[in-house]
Structure 1
């Protein structure tokens, strides 16, 4: 008998690890830094409180939504299952 060997297993595992690290870096560092930079640039360029406050609100919404991606994913999955009639619903075409 021949054993099946996946030659790319090491590369796949390395790629997955790098992907998880990069994802964490983006969500935990890059997005908050870019949100803060956005607020500073808008405040600097406009020198007015109205647009700066709006920039703070928009940055908070973006940051909050990205921080709660797991919750949003679970909620979306629940909505889809409920829309389809639940996990035990019988599918019938009319």
Structure 2
């Protein structure tokens, strides 16, 4: 008898778990910390309110974009799947098959 075993199954689950944890770490910790550091560094280096205010606005755009990326991409993917999976126009004629 020949038994097959999937040796990579544990590594795949470990890699997926690490990938999800790293993604959460990047989006929930790294990006906010880097945005805050960017604002502080610009404020210290320029000592002017104009560039600091622009740095705050830019950091808010980056932080907000990264925070809403998950739902935005989910909606876009769902829209694409519905479009190409019978929800959009038909790409071939049923009678020609």
TM over 0.5: yes
Matches within 5 A, 1:38-77: 38-77=38-77
Q: CA deviation at 1:91?
A: 1.6
Listed one character per residue, the Cα deviations across residues 51-76 of structure 1 (whole Å, up to 9, x for unaligned) are: 00000000000000100112220343
Contact 2:82/2:88, CA 8 A, preserved across alignment: no
Aligned to 2:87: 87
- Taking only aligned residues, the RMSD between alpha carbons, in angstroms, comes to 2.1
- Provide the secondary structure at the position in 2 that maps to 1:91: coil
Matches within 5 A, 1:10-21: 10-21=10-21
| TM-score when normalising by structure 1 | 0.82
Which protein is richer in helix relative to its size? 2
Q: Using the alignment, how far apart are the partners of 2:21 and 2:81 within structure 1? A: 31
Instruction: List alignment gaps of at least 5 residues for structure 2.
Output: 93-97
Q: CA deviation at 1:77?
A: 3.0
Instruction: List alignment gaps of at least 5 residues for structure 1.
Output: none
Q: How many residues align?
A: 91
Q: Using the alignment, how far apart are the partners of 1:8 and 1:81 within structure 2? A: 30
Q: Using the alignment, how far apart are the partners of 1:18 and 1:4 within structure 2? A: 27
Q: CA deviation at 1:8?
A: 1.1
Q: CA deviation at 1:82?
A: 8.1
Q: Using the alignment, how far apart are the partners of 1:76 and 1:90 within structure 2? A: 20
| TM-score when normalising by structure 2 | 0.79
